[in-house]
A = this chain, B = another copy of it.
Amino acid sequence: MIVLDVLGVIGTIAFALAGALTGIQKKLDVFGILMLSITTAVGGGILRDMLIGNTPPMAFRDPTFVVISIISAICACLVYQHINRFNNLIQFCDAVGLGAFTAAGANMAILYDINTPFIMIVLGVTTGVGGGIIRDLFVQEIPFVFRKEIYAVAAIVGAASFYYTQAILPDAVPMYLCFVVTSVIRILSIIYDLHLPII
């Protein structure tokens, strides 16, 4: 699990930076920026834990990821003026985070013995995109995953690949496959500017 932990940390930093930047743009105060940063980073996992009755949520029992979010948010406040230069790097880290969170979330279906394809996808997607949805609701935006990009779809395909390779691939390989599939789809959709159609 060490590898996924490292990936999770990378993702948490990217998610927390995105949350903090949103907060700064929306003229929130320092507390609001921290809250938005934390929410974006751990909100998806909290939502998933509430859905499966894993209470209190993991993010509250082990504050590591909240602490990482706070440090990221403080960094974002300090280098705010210069952060646009790192836009591509942040988007790349965000894609890594989406993959890591989706894989970890989908894996909870196995740990909780509710290993159906539907629940695995729901838990993966909720963990991956839930934080961003809550952030957007807090700042009064229609959640961006509903509007513009191939984001949740990457998580869905990733989690599905997890489920359907469990019988074929050994040990934790399906989980890593989920991470790779999700992140790669997300990165490709950014590079080639792919979007879902609007009716």
Chain B residues in 8 Å Cβ range of A199: 24, 30, 33, 77, 80
Chain B CB within 10 A, most for which of A29, A50, A51, A145 = A29
A23 close to B (CB within 8 Å): yes
A140 CB to nearest chain B CB (Å): 6
Interface members, chain A 124-156 (any B CB < 8 Å): 137-143, 145-148, 152-153
Chain B residues in 8 Å Cβ range of A143: 32, 138
The reply to whether B153 and A31 form a contact with Cβ atoms under 8 Å apart is yes
Number of identical monomers bound together in the oligomeric complex: 3
The reply to whether A31 and B140 form a contact with Cβ atoms under 8 Å apart is no
Interface size class of A (residues with CB under 8 A): 35 or more
The reply to whether A31 and B142 form a contact with Cβ atoms under 8 Å apart is no
The answer to whether residues A140 and B138 also contact, given A51-B60, A55-B51 and a CB cut-off of 8 A, is no
The stretch from A90-98, A114-122, A165-173, A177-185 touching chain B is A114-122
A196 CB to nearest chain B CB (Å): 4
